[in-house]
Amino acid sequence: MAQLIKDGALCENSWVRVTPEDAEGIPANGDIIVSLSCWLEQKEALKNHNGKVAVCLKPGQEPAELAGDLADLPMIAIDFPVFADGRGYSYARELRTRYGYQGEIRAVGDVLQDQLFYMWRCGFNAFDIRADKDASEALKGLNDFTVTYQADARDPRPIYRRQPE
Amino acid sequence: MYVYQDYDQRLLDERVAQFRDQTQRYLDGKLAEEEYRPLRLQNGLYVQRYAPMLRVAVPYGMMASAQLRMLAHICRTWDKGYCHVSTRQNIQFNWPELQDVPDILEALASVQMHAIQTSGNCIRNTTTDEFAGVNAKEIDDPRPWCELIRQWSTFNPEFAYLPRKFKIAVNAVPDEDPALIGVHDIGVQIVENGQDETGFQIWAGGGLGRTPMTGEVIGEFIEPKYLLAYLEAVLRVYNKYGIRDNKYKARIKIIVKAMGRDKFRELTEREFAELKDGPITLTEHEIERMRASFPAPAYSSLTDLPQALSQALSSDKAFSRWYHTNTRAHKQAGYRAVTLTLKKTGRVPGDITDEQLDVVADLADRYSFGEVRTTHQQNMVLADVRQDELFDLWQALESMGLATPNLKLLTDIVACPGGDYCSLANAKSIPIAEAIQHRFEDMDYLHDLGELDINISGCMNACGHHHIGHIGILGVDKKGREYYQITLGGRGDKVSRIGDKMGPSFESDEVADVVEKIVNLYVELRHDGELFIDTYERVGMEPFKERIYGPAN
Ligand code: SF4
């Protein structure tokens, strides 16, 4: 069953998350998501990896750490160890607005229906829904509201710039 | 008052539907307790000692009479016939059933009310001076700015999961702090820069709770159009760097202190530099639209002290006392602002019944342009009453128990719900308030004592603002028993200041005695015209300590 929501629809996940604890190390092929430290240490080697490479930021690891690498990264994952830790929202917004990052921003970890709308507005376009939840149900969370007051990733205008003057 | 546009209403309706679905999923077991908890909190729903508590937002304390009638209806239909005005100017219901809450929210939404972000680790209701718009001393009406902040903070996607709750207050009165901005996470002081331009001085890092402190100025003069850009910058810094692994250190005040004001300011300035002049910049049109949302009511042109008033003042002593205590000057000639004290002895401070709510709504329609305000001292205000109608209003209020002439006096006690309702409490607040009120029943004596704030909180969370009471009373737990710690010299009037701890705590039946002794000593020591707080500031803690605990050896 697909757990990934991307650009508003369920889809298959081709990416494998590689954690530093993985005994086998980095697989030879395939699309991989590596930790920030792994990326910073092995950046050059990873650029020759046979498959795409993304980096996962944990809370406390800011986008600034990747500022020079964004062109090399088709995807940045932002980890939510617990959904109530909201640092990732600011990271996504920063990636989109300060750094103009155009690639995929994927929420991973404790990713649940009731936070999707906020995440999406902050610039996430992919959500790896927590394994025990039904992703097709979670998908509904993207449509909780049709009205927003603030600027967001889809519309850079707050409501007072959307009204006809 | 701000009147909802179609989209404001649609947002509320969508919120009701969302919360109904979330609650249903929780009841169906699809949403775990720990997943539902932050969701219900962000909708003002606590699970309390006996029942859930629902906190309804009253944005910057303003309500229309139709909204009051809806609160009365909710009291009757889903609660036990009363509700409670909180120190954040919100309204709390103590006895709703969880499964009824979606229906209550739907009823609220029908009169443009809600419970959005009244709890949880998000931006809470923005508060201001309850006399906003009628206070002759204010340099601008703070309410349009409060409404702008309300909209910016409502479901702001970036700041829904902050390290901790976040409270903003706006003050437009120079040299006074009626909105307590000094003890808010962010305080917005409207200032003039000497060139006839108004702007905002921004304070950050104040707060009560476990580590009470007053904030520091981090922005000297922010131009009006940048208000939201600056707030967003502060919030982003807080969201990224606030402490998340210890909830007692999670408020913004801790990180402002830890990194130092200058560092905090530097980080904020960096974010601000990027946001400034971006789309978040307020348009002239929007600022004007907000100002136009708070027009002056259709005042008649009148003069002060009309004959009807002066006659009533000289012929009715009780009315005169109420007039001098519970009404205050108004910027429009011929009008007064009237405070309805919800502090009658024997009633829970801040509680109001459905019947009283309906009467207040009618009186608001009749005498005050249909608007009512709540105050952080847990009272209500009719802000625009004609002086020649004050006597009639007073009689109506008197018959409903809403005209106790004790505003700002010792028995106008601020108290959190405490151990009678709140599951976080160390101790009860309400019986302590009542015991003190009973001790001081002589109105002449109360008036002779003059202004004296007593604030009571049932625990460190300080919902009763005990740190800023002239006499503050805090419930503490000592080996499973309820004790009370006393502070003196706090204030939240001209300035905000945190009170000093007096010494070892007391048992519940001792508190009223101790307060009486403190007050007696004040009476002995006071100079002519000195209020309690003045005397305390002159003589300091020592004489009080000695009177209560005996001489130090
Ligand atoms: S101060 Fe404590 S006891 Fe009182 S309402 Fe707040 S949390 Fe509850």
Pairing, β A9-11 against β A4-6: antiparallel
Q: How many CB atoms lie within 10 A of CB B355?
A: 14
Flag whether the pTM goes above 0.80.
yes
B151 and A149 within 8 Å at the Cβ level: the answer is yes
Distance CA B257, CA B216 (A): 10
Mutation to test the B interface, candidates A160, A161, A163, A165, most B Cβ within 10 Å:
A160
* Dihedral sign, Cα of residue A88, residue A89, residue A90, residue A93: positive
The full DSSP string for B87-156 is TTS-EEES---GGGHHHHHHHHHTTT---TTSSSSSB---EE-TTTTT-TT-SS-SHHHHHHHHHHHTT-
Burial of B173 (0-12, 13-18, 19+ CB in 10 A): buried
ipTM above 0.90, yes or no: yes
Measured from the Cα of B462, ligand 1's closest atom is: 1
Distance CA B199, CA B225 (A): 9
User: Which member of A146, A158, A165 has the closest CB to residue B280?
Assistant: A158
Distance CA B157, CA A46 (A): 34
Asked if residues B120 and B165 have their Cβ atoms less than 8 Å apart, the reply is yes
Cα(B322) to centroid(ligand 1), Å: 31
How distant is the alpha carbon of residue B153 from its chain centre? 18
Residue A165 above 60 pLDDT?
Answer: no
Per-residue pLDDT of chain B (553 residues; tens, 9 = 90+): 899 999 999 999 999 999 999 999 999 999 999 999 999 999 999 987 777 899 999 999 999 999 999 999 999 999 999 999 999 999 999 989 999 999 999 999 999 999 999 999 999 999 999 999 999 999 999 999 999 999 999 999 999 999 999 999 999 999 999 999 999 999 999 999 888 899 999 999 998 888 888 999 999 999 999 999 999 999 999 999 999 999 999 999 999 999 999 999 999 999 999 999 999 999 999 999 999 999 999 999 999 999 999 999 999 999 999 999 999 999 999 999 999 999 999 899 999 999 999 999 999 999 999 999 999 999 999 999 999 999 999 999 999 999 999 999 999 999 999 999 888 999 999 999 999 999 999 999 999 999 999 999 999 999 999 999 999 999 999 999 999 999 999 998 888 899 999 999 999 999 999 999 999 999 999 999 999 999 999 999 999 999 999 987 6
Tens of pLDDT, residue by residue over B518-531, are: 999 999 999 999 99
Q: Whose CA is nearest to atom 6 of ligand 1?
A: B463
- Annotated domain spans of chain B: 6-109, 134-291, 307-399, 414-549
Q: Which CATH architecture has domain B414-549?
A: 2-Layer Sandwich (3.30)
| Length of chain A in terms of residues written | 165
Element housing A16 (H / E)? strand A15-17
Mutation to test the B interface, candidates A57, A80, A90, A148, most B Cβ within 10 Å:
A90
| Topology adopted by domain B307-399 | Sulfite Reductase Hemoprotein; domain 2 (3.90.480)
Cα(B475) to centroid(ligand 1), Å: 9
Q: Whose CA is nearest to atom 2 of ligand 1?
A: B459
For residue A58 the two structure tokens come to: 């944990």
A101-132 in b/e form (b: 16+ CB < 10 A) is: beebbbbbbbbbbbbbbbbbbbbbbbbbbbee
Q: Is the CB of B472 under 6 A from ligand 1?
A: no
Asked if residues B462 and B87 have their Cβ atoms less than 8 Å apart, the reply is no
For residue A25 the two structure tokens come to: 């190390």
The answer, for B239 touching chain A at a CB cutoff of 8 Å, is yes
Cα(B417) to centroid(ligand 1), Å: 7
Q: Do domains B134-291 and B414-549 have the same CATH topology?
A: yes
Q: Is A3-162 CATH 3.40.50.300? A: no
Distance CA B1, CA B63 (A): 8
Q: Is the CB of B424 under 6 A from ligand 1?
A: yes
Q: Is the CB of B430 under 6 A from ligand 1?
A: no
* Tokens 């990224």 found at: B240
Which residue from B minimizes the CA distance to A134? Answer: B30
Say which amino acid occupies A143: N
Distance CA B185, CA B208 (A): 9
Q: Which one is the CATH code of B6-109: 3.40.50.1220, 3.90.480.20, 3.90.850.10, 2.60.40.420?
A: 3.90.480.20
Its CATH class, for the domain covering B134-291, is alpha beta
* Shortest distance, CA A165 to any CA of chain B (angstroms): 7
Q: Is the CB of B146 under 6 A from ligand 1?
A: no
Asked if residues A101 and A70 have their Cβ atoms less than 8 Å apart, the reply is yes
What does the pLDDT read at residue B196?
A: 86
The answer, for A79 touching chain B at a CB cutoff of 8 Å, is no
For residue B320 the two structure tokens come to: 């005169």
Quote the DSSP letter at residue A35.
E
Report in angstroms the alpha-carbon separations of B260 from B216, B253, B265, B266: 10, 10, 9, 10
Phi, psi (5° rounding) for residue A88? -60, -25
A86 and B39 within 8 Å at the Cβ level: the answer is no
Q: Is the CB of B417 under 6 A from ligand 1?
A: yes
